[in-house]
Amino acid sequence: MNIAIITGASSGIGMEFARQMDEGLRRIGEFWLIARRRDRLEELAEKLSHRARVLALDLTDGEDVNRFHRLLERERPLIRMLVNCSGYGVMGTFADLELEEEVGMIDLNCRALTEMTHLCIPYMRKKSRIIQIASSAAFLPQPGFAVYAASKAYVLSFSRALAGELSEAGILVTAVCPGPVRTPFFDRAERGGSTLAIKKYVMAEAEDVVRDALRASGRGRTVCVYGPAIRAFRLLCKAVPQGWILAVMRKLK
């Protein structure tokens, strides 16, 4: 059975991936939708034209990840696509935020994404695709969003290396690095701090970000950055010493 797996499908960018992949990927037999909120996944599954399996899993819970592993071993599907979208960020000063929330970001954004990727690769073949949702936060350390930015730098670095390792097997890996996207992400992210005002001017819609990401993945691009402003930001981060950019950003706050 050909399947597509989407984590974080209960909301925002992950839900939008499910919608657009449902329209665009005809050869998928079943979607596996993963997140903690079963009711939201069931609601989504009903709307899809493909058959969809709801897997209400907390990817930071080892027992839930084991359940997923055992399911793969039992069903032995052919994974055509894995989209790792589950993730969260919390803004605020590192020393003031709850340690549990800080470590939780590393657990979900890095460890769970790595674990899911490792568990799924044995079930992939030539032309299977992996999409890892990183962020433009991966391009630069961010005071006030320190652990989140570091976790996304991990996702970008890991995905680029993995793309190199899997190229011989014909498995495509794309790291998606959007700037701010209008989703419920900010309900949690902004509880302890607030977004730089400038970010609000470059806020993108999930629909556009996902369309661009699917196109980039189809073309085998390793990194996908949506929109001219964020592409310019990436170039800036490559061209200018990070200390200088951080000094300017401190002034913009």
Ligand X SMILES: NC(=O)c1ccc[n+]([C@@H]2O[C@H](COP(=O)([O-])OP(=O)(O)OC[C@H]3O[C@@H](n4cnc5c(N)ncnc54)[C@H](OP(=O)(O)O)[C@@H]3O)[C@@H](O)[C@H]2O)c1
Whether residue 154 lies in the annotated active site: no
How distant, in Å, are the alpha carbons of 20, 156, 245, 250 from that of 159?
Answer: 22, 5, 25, 30
Interatomic CA distance for residues 152 and 70, integer angstroms: 28
For ligand X, give the closer residue by CB, 2 or 223: 223
Per rule CB under 6 A, is residue 133 in the interface with ligand X? Answer: yes
Near ligand X by CB under 6 A: residue from 31, 44, 60, 153: 60
For ligand X, give the closer residue by CB, 77 or 179: 179
The residues with which 6 forms a beta bridge, in sequence order, are 33, 83
Interatomic CA distance for residues 7 and 55, integer angstroms: 9
Cβ of residue 165: shortest distance to ligand X, in angstroms? 22
Q: Which stretch binds ligand X (CB under 6 A): 31-39, 42-50, 164-172, 221-229?
A: 31-39
Among residues 7, 233, 5, the alpha carbon closest in space to that of 135 is found at 233
Interface mask toward ligand X for 70-89; x: CB under 6 A: ---------------xxxxx
Instruction: Answer whether 10's CB lies under 8 Å from 31's CB.
Output: no
Q: What is the DSSP letter of 36?
A: S
Per rule CB under 6 A, is residue 12 in the interface with ligand X? Answer: yes
Q: What is the DSSP letter of 204?
A: B
Per rule CB under 6 A, is residue 253 in the interface with ligand X? Answer: no
Active site residues: 148
Which residues here bind ligand X, judged by CB under 6 A? 7-8, 10-14, 35-37, 40, 58-60, 85-89, 108, 133, 135, 178, 180-181, 183-185
